[in-house]
Structure 1
């Protein structure tokens, strides 16, 4: 038995707010995949948390991203120095004391998160596995992680590609929420380089959740319906990870795996005729009118998701690529319908 569940997913809002639309009012879960802030200013955190507090969903979850320096408060001095450096490199050119005031004292973003939990039910998730009973009677097993790979680890929750990172996703996890993408899926940068994590791909390919959502690589916004092969092409995660640099898709059934939408397909390309160009513009206008991209994967839909067989993979970056802000100010959250198992008797629902 299962319960139809609606989820609103967004990431990388930075210092922007996203408009509340009617369909959001029926969401069972809201998930923010990280980068609540842009410069880790206290005002950025307050803005997005105020927005999330206003959303009427019974369960609202968020994680940190690499811009959320103030949340990674175990490295306060290091991240304050990084923020001061960003102030210069990004051309903000503010006085040092003003930057320190915007960053706030140690622990300030955590205090704002605690206040949002109390005032609006927004739950901040640390890395790890979490379980919830939803108000609609469903049970949810979710894994969260803010960690991303980087060549230069001057921001929050980062590790080098050489170091790697373990993503300990529990078996039968329905939703995986990470800040960054897995290697090879919705992770191409403007420089045409893959920025995803091989270890994350391995963990997702092994556990095969219903949904894996993330952000980080703004220019790779989109969603992909992944159909896994019946038998894994590699028996160990170590061997599979070694292959990912060259071929990240060995566990997928290429004939049944489909890109449902991606940002580059919404703009005119060289060779497009007038009809195709107009169709792309009309699709963008519809997403803008609604304020989200909607997709459903329940029994009876064209592409239902079954645990262990298919995964809907989403890059939900709201902020658009910095190099193309003149074209599009922001992208769109995702609204997704899936089916979750019924909770066991005695399990208490979320507040």
Structure 2
């Protein structure tokens, strides 16, 4: 979600280290326009001294919710796949956003997991990517 079109990771390593150590429920950013999307990241049980995407994220337990890659057609798509994808895109456009509902989140977000959202709305030419709406449960006993 922070890869350029040249496949170069441009996120700040210090910021990633802070996020890995804090493991917040939500991390929202948008510095890479073509990285629009959301992913529930599962952290490894032990965070390394110098956290990185490679050593501290358990990709096998992480889930991509949505991305430009998932919304774009490929030559391998069946007509059925293309129709389903287009129905999703049409629904998002009617809603004027891409939402992440709390029912999904409550089962996916919790200790050891962070929802990463690249909320970049600027596409190649203009503001053509949908904004995200995320509902997260906060503890009621905040002091």
* Separation (CA, whole Å) in 2 of partners of 1:287 and 1:196: 27
Question: How far apart, in 2, do the equivalents of 1:200 and 1:293 lie?
Answer: 25
Query: Residue in 1 aligned with 2:112?
Result: 309
Q: Does 1:195 align with 2:5?
A: no
Q: Residue 81 of structure 2 is aligned with which of 272, 276, 301?
A: 276
Structure 2 equivalent of residue 85 of structure 1: none
Q: CA deviation at 1:299?
A: 9.1
Match of 2:132 among 321, 326, 334: 334
Q: Which position in structure 1 is the counterpart of 2:99?
A: 294
Aligned partners of 1:300 and 1:216: how far apart in 2?
A: 24
Note the C-alpha offset of 1:297: 4.3
Residue-pair matches, total: 142
TM-score, normalising length from structure 2? 0.87
CA RMSD of aligned residues (A): 2.1
Which TM-score applies when normalising by structure 1? Answer: 0.38
1:336 is displaced (CA, Å) by 1.2
Larger Rg: 1
Q: Does structure 1 retain, via aligned residues, the 8 Å contact 2:2–2:11?
A: yes
User: Secondary structure of 1:331's match?
Assistant: coil
Match of 2:24 among 201, 209, 220: 209
> Which ranges in structure 1 are unaligned for 5 or more consecutive residues?
1-185, 345-351
5+ residue gaps, structure 2 = none
Counterparts of 1:255 and 1:297, CA distance in 2? 23
Q: Measure the CA separation in 2 of the matches of 1:216 and 1:252.
A: 21
1:302: how far off?
A: 3.5
The alpha-carbon distance between structure 1 residues 204 and 301, as it changes in their structure 2 partners (threshold 3 A), is closer
Q: Secondary structure at the match of 1:338?
A: coil
SS at match of 1:341: coil
Asked if 2 retains the 8 angstrom alpha-carbon contact of 1:226 and 1:313, the reply is yes
Q: Which has the higher contact order (CA 8 A, sep 6+)?
A: 2
CA offsets 1:258-284 (integer angstroms, 9 cap, x no match):
111001211111221211122211111
